[in-house]
A and B are shown apart, each in its own frame.
Chain A
Amino acid sequence: MPHLSHPGSTARVCPALRKPLALLVGAAALTAGAAQAETITVATVNNNDMVIMQSLTEEFEQAHPDITLDWVVLEENVLRQRMTTDIATQGGQFDVMTIGSYEVPIWAERGWLQPLEDLPAEYQEGDLLKPVRDGLSHDGVLHALPFYAESSMLYYRTDLFEGAGIEMPEQPTWEQVRDWAETLHDPDSDVAGICLRGKPGWGENMAFVSTLVNTFGGRWFDMDWNPEINSEAWQNAISFYVDLMNNYGPAGATSNGFNENLALFSRGNCAMWVDATSAAGKLFNPDESTVADRLGFAPAPVAETPKGSHWLWAWSLAIPASSDAPDAARTFITWATSQDYVNLVGETKGWTSVPPGTRQSTYDNENYQQAAPFAGFVVDAINAADPLDSSLEPNPYVGVQFVGIPEFQAIGTQVGQMVASALSGETSVDQALSAAQRATERTMQRAGYLD
């Protein structure tokens, strides 16, 4: 084999190469200097608002040259499982985590999150909407900062309503919604009277179903943590939901979650849709929606009580206790949830793209009011949602569309599957709710809530 090199060959440098090499060494030294910047790993989901945050990385790094951002973007359920593993084992892989209203109080109670006390005055903590701030606090101290928040509301097609001579009242009821769905249901024109979530999951169909049960006068648990899933209120709510969807809903509703219904409504296949307020920006955008110019908004419908008729959810940024760069992480999350950030997004990405639902100043902003005619509905819905008082009868838990206990993910998903089986006709409503009641009782007994 021929010798490709011999000892000492690297020490001899051709004169013509000396200058470029010197430049390279200089560049390497500069890079080494830049590498001293602290790197923080931010775990987040692939929602539009988070994608915008990621796209503004350069702006943050320019304003804070001592901090570099490293992004980990995952699907919501994968991210939740990944973060739970890391935080429970103190793995220290993340410095900033994107978590929801459900996780914050549970994780804060276990000491997994850094308390966010003594926030700088310029952060304007008082500007945060109170229900959102309360939902992210434990013992009165914020443990996460809200990135964007949402409630739920009724979307409807103004052209179809006008055509049928229906006028939307200030506060619609579910009985009215059923009548309108009957009138507007037109399968020949590929328009369903109403679209609602049917895909099983605690964050999918059960988010909506919980609000429906709340407004029908039901609750998940009584004050002694006994499940009430086979109560009359649950029976009425689920029977109403199943009848409504089977008669006036789209085909294959058990496969429809938020995304599927968003697609259906934006293509003009639904006369009404009750879901997250965060859909408003997308439906109002003519590039993404064919019904942008025929879109109406109304508060979420009510039945027996307005309590808990619409949900409250906030995606927020938190610092795990295991982070080895808590100061840099704090600098980042205060930047990403600040009013300055809202203004930056409004000016660079357009005012309908600003993260909604967190600050009163966003709703006082004239630019935002002009660009987003749904803004008033959203802020009213969020301010009216009370996670501490979400049902007609008193309950022992925090949360409107979820129950703030660790066992709820399993309970909610299991009950969601049973509700979906009733919707698909596999079982009757009665059978589904009896099975859900038994399963929840077992889970609560094993968890030590019941004897």
Chain B
Amino acid sequence: MTTTAGTTTATAAPAAAGISPAARAQRRRKVAMAILGWGVALIIFFPIFWMILTGFKTEADAIADPSLIFSPTLESYTEVQSRADYSKFAWNSVVVSFGSTLLALLIAIPSAYSMAFLPTRRTRGTLLWMLSTKMLPSVGVLVPIYLLFRDFGLLDTRTGLTIVYTLMNLPIVVWMLYTFFKDLPRDILEAGRMDGAGTLQEIWYLLLPLTLPGIASTGLLSVILSWNEAFWSLNLTTSQAAPLTAYIASFSSPEGLFWAKLSAASTMAIAPILIFGWLTQKQMVRGLTFGAVK
């Protein structure tokens, strides 16, 4: 919009005078919804905001009565940096999150394709069974997986953690892709087949380009889930493959004050994924509403 403030005021006044009650009610509803939306967003963001703020406090200020007025300091960041190699943990997080997402997509795209376009009697059951594995508490399979990892030499390796994250996210990735693929008209693929395209060409030249927003948002969600995962990373890594979740955990203390340092470490740990999420939010939203607009 290129209107100046003056022209907006000039045109807005007669428009407001002639506004119908229905339009006014709709406008009021819009304003109310906007306030509600902002309110919910603020509530969701408040813990993150408070964590960022606490990272800039001294340990004494961090445990004092909550206040927005304090002298900001970088001492917690300095302390946190001096005690652990952030870059090593961050690199492990990047490798494992993106590696597991790529692997999950590689497995899930053909699976979701077959389930969406070549369904059998048992497809629905298979999909539900895949999802049901997400309902199993992780700790229930900790010891068997730990023993397998020990025997295969995968403990404290990025390869091991990548495999676990891939398996952990696979049901969600398959489900999401299945939903996106199902929304694609079959006629398009059939037209391709009529023109002589094989299955791989069909996937590569038709399915993937047409469902790219959905694939992108699935991938982004998988990256975020892997980045934030704590149970397996704390249990299967020690020092070499430990990601940022282990980095955060190292600043909690049973004896002594630690909230400012923990907040500083947490802020540093979420910063990359927060920026990544912010940069890709358009694709995320577009992908997640992909089915709704069709």
A interface, CB within 8 angstroms of B: 41, 43, 45-48, 51, 54-55, 70-76, 78, 81-82, 85-86, 88-94, 203, 257-259, 262-263, 267, 276, 278-279, 282, 288
- B interface bracket (residues with beta carbon within 8 Å of A): 20 to 34
Q: Which residue of B is nearest A85, CB measured?
A: B146
The residues of B that contact A86 with a CB separation of less than 8 Å are 146
B234 touches A288 (CB 8 A): no
Question: Nearest Cβ in chain B — how far from A267, in angstroms?
Answer: 7
Given contacts A41-B239, A94-B238, A267-B60, 10 further A-B contacts (CB under 8 A): A46-B252, A47-B254, A47-B255, A48-B256, A70-B238, A75-B252, A89-B143, A91-B150, A203-B254, A258-B254
Q: Which residue of B is nearest A76, CB measured?
A: B254
Instruction: Determine chain A's interface SS by DSSP, over half rule.
Output: mixed
Q: Which of B84, B146, B150, B257 contacts A262 (CB 8 A)?
A: B257
The residues of A that contact B59 with a CB separation of less than 8 Å are 288
Instruction: Determine chain B's interface SS by DSSP, over half rule.
Output: loop
Question: Nearest Cβ in chain B — how far from A209, in angstroms?
Answer: 17
B254 touches A259 (CB 8 A): yes
The residues of A that contact B256 with a CB separation of less than 8 Å are 46-48, 259, 262, 282
Q: Which of A71, A89, A258, A288 contacts B255 (CB 8 A)?
A: A258
A46 touches B238 (CB 8 A): no
Q: Which of A46, A48, A70, A94 contacts B251 (CB 8 A)?
A: A46
A89 touches B251 (CB 8 A): no
If the complex has contacts A73-B250, A259-B257, are A51 and B83 also in contact, measured as CB distance less than 8 A?
yes
A47 touches B253 (CB 8 A): yes
9 A-B pairs with C-beta separation under 8 A: A76-B254, A82-B235, A88-B143, A89-B147, A262-B255, A262-B256, A267-B63, A278-B255, A288-B257
B64 touches A85 (CB 8 A): no
B83 touches A54 (CB 8 A): yes
B83 touches A72 (CB 8 A): no
B239 touches A78 (CB 8 A): no
The residues of B that contact A88 with a CB separation of less than 8 Å are 143
Q: Which residue of A is nearest B254, CB measured?
A: A76
A85 touches B253 (CB 8 A): no
If the complex has contacts A46-B250, A89-B143, are A71 and B239 also in contact, measured as CB distance less than 8 A?
yes
Lowest 10 CB-CB distances: which A-B pairs, in order? A73-B250, A75-B252, A46-B253, A263-B63, A76-B254, A70-B239, A47-B255, A72-B238, A93-B238, A48-B256
Q: What separation, in Å, do the CA atoms of A259 and B254 have in the docked complex?
A: 7
Q: What separation, in Å, do the CA atoms of A257 and B254 have in the docked complex?
A: 9
Q: Is B142 an interface residue (CB 8 A)?
A: yes
Q: Which of B156, B234, B251 contacts A78 (CB 8 A)?
A: B234
B254 touches A45 (CB 8 A): yes
B150 touches A74 (CB 8 A): no
B234 touches A82 (CB 8 A): yes
Q: Is B155 an interface residue (CB 8 A)?
A: yes
A73, A92, A262: residue with the most chain B Cβ atoms closer than 10 Å: A73
Q: Is B246 an interface residue (CB 8 A)?
A: yes
Q: What separation, in Å, do the CA atoms of A181 and B211 have in the docked complex?
A: 69
Question: Nearest Cβ in chain B — how far from A401, in angstroms?
Answer: 15
Q: Which of B60, B146, B252 contacts A91 (CB 8 A)?
A: B146
Q: What separation, in Å, do the CA atoms of A91 and B150 have in the docked complex?
A: 6
The residues of B that contact A74 with a CB separation of less than 8 Å are 234, 246, 249-250
Q: What separation, in Å, do the CA atoms of A279 and B239 have in the docked complex?
A: 30
Question: Nearest Cβ in chain A — how far from B275, in angstroms?
Answer: 26
If the complex has contacts A46-B258, A85-B146, A267-B64, are A41 and B238 also in contact, measured as CB distance less than 8 A?
yes
Q: What separation, in Å, do the CA atoms of A47 and B251 have in the docked complex?
A: 9
